[in-house]
Structure 1
Amino acid sequence: MRKVAALVAAAALFGASACQQPAFAAERVVEAPAASRIAKEGSGLKTAIFAGGCFWGVEAVFSHTKGVTSAVSGYHGGTRRQADYKLVSSGITDHVEAVKVTYDPRVVRYDELLRIFFSVIADPTLKDRQGPDRGAHYNAELVPLSAEQRAVASAYLSKLKKSGLWSRPIVTSIEPAKTFYPAETYHQDFAAKNPRHPYIVRWDVPKVSALKRLYPSLYRAKFRRN
């Protein structure tokens, strides 16, 4: 509780802070289409980075996804010196909140992770915001870490644009990989450690519930702790 109290205090001190802004409107759940290009990544664990607003919810969903062996909240891009919650959440750095996901492609493929991401985590029509959070550090971005992931991501975004599921243009981008800095310890497994936190209850529990409802074969009840 001390860490949560410190987080709230930091939000008050630095203004529009990460994962702490008031609710504006409910996030829309959309069953995104299955990919036309299936990821072919072979055996062995693979890693990719997803930025989709507050990293608490991104991590929570992927931690409940079968085949994911690790989901680490952190900051993508920027500098090591500024990879600090207070600075990133103030909006003065070049980081985005992101989650590094390690997964077993024999259980869940990269294209399936993309489908989950756009179905229950991120609205691909929003720029520099997601859910109740505003700022460039909340932008939705795909960060492939291999040529195959990049090709699959590009094909998938093209399919989303043609799907007609969203009335506004698709603006989520594919970004080159930069340095990923793990966030502070108290951010890791935040939803599991703080299930009654108002933000988690309001914004992230519904995402995990949507994962279970839409993709029951890929859902696991036990939270994957880092």
Structure 2
Amino acid sequence: MRRSDSLALIALAALVVATPLRAERAVLAPVPTIDAAPTRKLETAVFAGGCYWGVEGVFSHVKGVHLVVSGFAGGPRDRRVDYDMVSGGDTGYAEAVRVTYDPAQVSYGTLLRVFFSVVADPTTLNYQQPDHGTQYRSALFPLNDGQAKAATAYLAQIGKAGLWRDPIVTRVERFTGFQNAARDHQDFMRKNPRHPYIMRWDVPKLAAFKAMFPTLYRETPSA
């Protein structure tokens, strides 16, 4: 184990003791053995990991991330949806976020590592903690071949790592487009830091990210 990982585990242990209300169990996922090739332009990645408030909240504090948008992915390309429709659980869409990042500062593989370390439990099928239904599934939506190879390889890697008791159920899904959520769902964690749901389920995720990845964390979130 690298010294930086050992320090992250010590910080995480202290966090667990100090935080009585926790979301998904934070796990220090391994460094990806296969990553998407870096480019000289901003890239976009799409993740689904339960309620998008917390997913957006964590990724917006990652150094190198320029923008995070909450929305929906995974359903039919030709169907327009909104929050109420997706909440019914029968549209095929999942709550998701679109992350615009600078691969010169943070790689796609690093985003995957953050996602599985503190954002989503990859062993819970069609739910994340209090939210149940296919709209809350964890899924990766690669936008190019490099992301697809990295995502597939990383799921296999964490599946063999034995960090979770149950099997990995997160899947790589075909990207059919992304639809933005309504304005009042954007930057929800930043705008509503004392909201009961945010305090109970999402603040611990952000605290775990800060403790486990201090060199990646930035205090001021992206726009």
Please indicate the TM-score interval, normalised by the length of the shorter structure.
0.7 to 0.9
Q: Distance in 2 between matches of 1:222 and 1:111?
A: 23
2:121 to 123, 126, 148: 123
In the alignment, is the contact (CA less than 8 A) between 1:61 and 1:208 conserved in 2? yes
1:34 has 2:31 as partner: yes
Matching residue of 2:96: 98
Distance 2:38 2:105 in 1: 12
Instruction: Select the structure with the greater relative contact order (CA < 8 A; seq sep ≥ 6).
Output: 2
Q: Contact conserved, 2:128 with 2:136, CA < 8 A, in 1?
A: yes
Moved >4 Å (runs of 4+): 79-82
Report Cα offsets for 1:44-75 as digits up to 9, x if no partner.
10001000000000000000101011110001
Matches within 5 A, 1:66-81: 66-78=63-75
**Amino acid across the alignment from 2:113:** R
State the partner residue of 2:152: 154
Residue identity matched to 2:189: A
The answer for the alignment partner of 1:17 in structure 2 is none
Give the alignment's Cα RMSD to 1 decimal: 1.5
- Once the two structures are TM-superposed, the CA of residue 25 in structure 1 deviates from its matched residue by 7.7
**Equivalents in 1 of 2:202, 2:167: separation in Å?**
25
- What TM-score results when the alignment is normalised by the length of structure 2? 0.87
Contact 2:74/2:174, CA 8 A, preserved across alignment: no
Distance apart, 1:82 and its partner CA: 4.5
- Letter aligned with residue 37 of structure 1: I
Q: Which structure 2 residues correspond to residues 58-207 of structure 1 after superposition, within 5 A?
A: 58-78=55-75, 82-207=80-205
Partners of 1:41 and 1:160 in 2: CA distance: 22
Equivalent residue, structure 1, for 2:218: 220
Q: CA deviation at 1:171?
A: 0.8
Counterpart of 1:54? 51
For the residues of structure 2 that align with 1:77 and 1:171, how far apart are their CA atoms?
16
Is the 8 Å Cα contact of residues 77 and 178 (structure 1) preserved in structure 2?
yes
For 1:157 and 1:90, locate their aligned partners in 2 and report how far apart those are by CA, in whole Å.
28
Q: What does the per-residue CA deviation read over 1:139-183, in whole Å, with 9 as the maximum and x for residues that have no partner? A: 000001010011111111111011011111111000011121000
Q: Secondary structure at the match of 2:215?
A: helix
Determine the C-alpha separation between the residues in 2 that align with 1:162 and 1:92.
32
Gapped regions of structure 2 (runs ≥ 5): 1-20
Report deviation, 1:38.
3.0
